[in-house]
Structure 1
Amino acid sequence: MDSVMAAPDAPPQAVVLVSAGASHSVALLTGNALCSWGRGEDGQLGHGDAEDRLVPTVLSGFDAPGIASVICGADHTTAYSEEELQVYSWGWGDFGRLGHGNSTDVFTPQPVKALQGLKIKQIACGDSHCLAVTMAGEVQSWGRNQNGQLGLGTTEDSLLPQKIQAFEGVCVKMIAAGAEHTSAVTEDGDLYGWGWGRYGNLGLGDRNDRLFPEKVSSVEGEKMVLVACGWRHTITVSESGTMYTYGWSKYGQLGHGDFEDHLVPHKLESLKDSTISQISGGWRHTMALTSEGKLYGWGWNKFGQVGVGNNDDHCSPVQVHFPEEQKISQVACGWRHTLALSEKKNVFSWGRGTSGQLGNGEIVDRWSPYSALAQCLTLFYEETQYLIFAIYTLPSY
């Protein structure tokens, strides 16, 4: 251990979840605290200014109670207060992605008034659009819509959340947002895609856009339970834990051992003996977590975002190793960096680091979680709040 900052009688706070955007990162901590780090030019960090942060910094001015989730878009962020039944958003406001009825950038969390009072099950943020699934299985969407990614039947941007009427009578379980496309799974296990489809990323067997959600028929008999979107590819997992990918694969991000696009969901044979419990898609890379806590990555790796100690692209899954073989409980892909949370509540980061998005106080890329591990601890005082690190330097493999 190189350095530890500590203070007497300061209770550590556990990290609950992490999320990653284009060049920024966020975390939800126990004690209802949010922290953020990385690029802040558009207000996506929520600190009231446009400064980058090289280490996680608590949003001291945000005191909404009962925060249940925090999700990054490319250059904006959303959070949901379960206690207030209120969605908050901040960051780059272009195309109405914040849902505030305008295109203004916002530098501190502000309520999305159109969603007030809704019980939200999940929020998904893409490059420039967002969606929210209610506990009743309805879907609201807002933001950029040039390819129909909002599912409203038009290509007009929406500055305010609108209900996707095409899902009337359908109970949506989970939603995922890519750069310009959207995918969903229903409580019945059906898979849908809409928006930009040029690389087959909608899974509908062609390269056409869709303005409304359309059911993917090529996985008949398989009930889907998870879905995630990369920039222009899609990942889904069946009830049995089997993983499928489709869409753009120029950098091997589909994981099938080649660089060929797939226009319909294609089973990932290399992980067929693993039960996949969580998935995440980056700009051009993919991560998958197994029920045993093992993490695999593949795809574009120019900045080490796959986390396997090199910067070679990988067209098949490669296991990511952690100190003491810690089991991973959550993974989040940014555009060019990746975050992981271990069962021991340690936060790992790797990949692009030039905006401070790795949170280790540096502005360099890291090819492996071993290179510089930041174990997040939080100290709270009556006058101030800040996040500190125990920095470990570990050998790269």
Structure 2
Amino acid sequence: MVRTKELSDFQRGTVIGCHLSNKSVRQISALLELPRSTVSAVIVKWKRLGATTAQPRSGRPHKLTELDRRVLKHVARTNRPSSVATLTTEFQTASGSKVSTRTVRRELREMGFHGRAAAHKPKITKSGLQAVTVADDIKEKVKLDLPKVKGQLLIFGATNWDLIGRKEVPKAQAAFRNLGQNLWGPHRYGSMSDVQVSSVVSGPCAAHSLLITTEGKLWSWGRNEKGQLGHGDTKRLEAPKLIEALADEVVVAAACGRNHTLALTEGGTAYSFGENKLGQLGQGNQTDAVLSPALIQYNGQPLVKVACGAEFSMVVDCKGNLFSFGCPEYGQLGHNSDGKFIARAQRIEFDCETIARRVAIFIEKSKDSQVTPVPNVVVRDVACGGNHTLILDSQKRVFSWGFGGYGRLGHTEQKDEMVPRLVKLFDFPGRGASQIYTGYQCSFAVNEMGGLFFWGVTNTSRESTMYPKAVQDLCGWKVRSLACGKSSIVIAADDSTISWGPSPTFGELGYGDNKAKSSTTAQEVKTLDGVYTEQVVMGYAHCLVIARQDTPQEQEMLKKLPEYNPRTL
């Protein structure tokens, strides 16, 4: 058999774009003047591997449908360890398909399973396939820098970590029911007064927090029911504590999901810990929890960015490639699938990604829903909301995908997007974006001119903003740092700190005792007058601030703030 000429990356991307526009194989073949078999092969490869680049040809076609492969993966995970004969029988019972043990073994091997059921040399692993997709034979070496920020940690908002976002404290945490309080104004952490902080980390779904010192040491505190603090246990912590397992590493960045955490070292490796039921730790399995930091399963170029949504994670390598893993329920992983399949008894489950998989295609949609692939996307930044994702590329374009409710994707509709879609407002000369941020149900971007844009919703009782709109209240302010929790927003701009958010709030706006508890418009935080805010970060209902203390005057202003010394058990 004569091997046909390989298609260019642009041709392959065009095939996928036409496929996403609901064109048939026959129509695509006629439009691009390609054989139908070639068109079908490109589409099948993209659906299976999330890639359009050429892979080594094995000469053996897949004998299972995509649905059968999902069922087989589910059977393998729920019956480990088992022989291939046992798994074949279980699979045939669950799917009704008749296959040989040889086919099952090959499929398991190609899905990344190891052990006697998948044993066959040479082993083909899912991470190996992705290494081919990235097409980088030589790994680069990087040394990432810590943020060029240092200051003192301040906190305000809710600190009863087990109660945040809940009606009552779980029975397992009943002993902590009366710990923590609502801090209505900024407080200094008493135990951290001598620690120079370089970065603070939390997330709109998180009730735990992290800080990175100027020496690159990672500290954590807050809710810890799934081991997301990384201390090898599930004990809640009221104040920051050094993560001993990472004491020998220089950590430069981190991210918090609902109950999981990612940490990035200066060498470009990523550790994960916490809940892993949906594969959000990227360690190649689905377990209840991982209590101590462990490396993610990844064999590509060094990583430079990490981000977490509620139950999923994103990482970016030094070449600008984006990888995702975790729960795909709303398409937030960007692999053109929500991962749903029907298990036993008509129960819907999700085919979660348990190792880092490259996001292979980026698209643009016209008003009449025509899809065009966007080539040459080099990712520079990534931000995750509860169930949606934003990225900023090297051309200052913004893409969004995932759950589309309340307009948080900025595409003028509430439809979920399964692959990264271009936000058109920022795709014009001189109007590109320079910063991106996400809240639980909203998104922000700062354009090249310094203008702040918002879309989505913070108050679900009000009308949604379906596409990026300028925040007029902050026109002329130079935004340095922005954070959004469940519904509240805090911004560091010029020499001020600004916040607003609807009721109910728990002190995360920082207005102070006996002051307004909420605001529908942007207000300066008077309790921080004279304090220069380097960085702001929000959890579900608390706010963390790095306050500069370079001069005696700044140190004196900070000493005037009350000190928070939480009670512990």
User: What corresponds to 1:211 in structure 2?
Assistant: 354
Matches within 5 A, 1:149-228: 149-156=280-287, 157-166=289-298, 168-208=299-339, 209-219=352-362, 220-228=375-383
Unaligned runs of 5+ in 2: 1-146, 165-177, 340-351, 363-374, 532-553, 564-569
Q: Give yes or no for contact 2:227–2:291 (8 Å, CA) kept in 1.
A: yes
1:280 counterpart = 2:437: yes
Q: Taking structure 1 as reference, are residues 31 and 163 closer, same or farther at Cα in structure 2, changes over 3 Å only?
A: closer
- In the superposition, the TM-score normalised over structure 2's length comes to 0.58
Q: Which has the higher strand share?
A: 1
Query: C-alpha distance in 1, partners of 2:194/2:280?
Result: 30
Q: Which has the higher helix share?
A: 2
Query: C-alpha distance in 1, partners of 2:466/2:562?
Result: 37
User: What corresponds to 2:246 in structure 1?
Assistant: 115
Q: Taking structure 1 as reference, are residues 128 and 64 closer, same or farther at Cα in structure 2, changes over 3 Å only?
A: farther
Query: C-alpha distance in 2, partners of 1:92/1:129?
Result: 11
Q: Which range is displaced more, 171-180 or 36-45?
A: 36-45
User: What corresponds to 1:345 in structure 2?
Assistant: 495
User: What corresponds to 1:18 in structure 2?
Assistant: none
User: What corresponds to 1:133 in structure 2?
Assistant: 264
Matches within 5 A, 1:1-397: 32-42=151-161, 50-63=180-193, 65-73=195-203, 74-83=206-215, 85-156=216-287, 157-166=289-298, 168-208=299-339, 209-219=352-362, 220-273=375-428, 274-302=431-459, 311-322=462-473, 325-342=476-493, 344-352=494-502, 354-361=505-512, 362=515, 364-370=517-523, 375-378=528-531, 380=555, 385-386=560-561
Query: C-alpha distance in 2, partners of 1:150/1:321?
Result: 39
**Shift, 1:382, TM fit:** 11
Query: C-alpha distance in 1, partners of 2:434/2:393?
Result: 10
Q: Give yes or no for contact 2:271–2:294 (8 Å, CA) kept in 1.
A: yes
- In the superposition, the TM-score normalised over structure 1's length comes to 0.82
Query: C-alpha distance in 2, partners of 1:140/1:376?
Result: 38
Letter in 1 for 2:158: R
SS in structure 1 at match of 2:392: strand
Identity %: 26
Q: Taking structure 1 as reference, are residues 54 and 218 closer, same or farther at Cα in structure 2, changes over 3 Å only?
A: same
SS in structure 1 at match of 2:226: helix
Query: C-alpha distance in 1, partners of 2:400/2:558?
Result: 49
Map Cα deviations across residues 287-327 of structure 1 (whole Å, 9 max, x no partner): 112232211111123169xxxxxx32111111113467212
Letter in 2 for 1:348: I
SS in structure 2 at match of 1:54: strand
Q: Taking structure 1 as reference, are residues 359 and 383 closer, same or farther at Cα in structure 2, changes over 3 Å only?
A: closer
**Shift, 1:119, TM fit:** 1.4
SS in structure 2 at match of 1:127: coil
Q: Give yes or no for contact 2:499–2:523 (8 Å, CA) kept in 1.
A: no
Q: Give yes or no for contact 1:125–1:131 (8 Å, CA) kept in 2.
A: yes
Count of matched residue positions in the alignment of Structure 1 and Structure 2? 350
CA RMSD of aligned residues (A): 2.7
**Shift, 1:250, TM fit:** 1.3
Query: C-alpha distance in 1, partners of 2:240/2:163?
Result: 9
Q: Taking structure 1 as reference, are residues 161 and 336 closer, same or farther at Cα in structure 2, changes over 3 Å only?
A: same
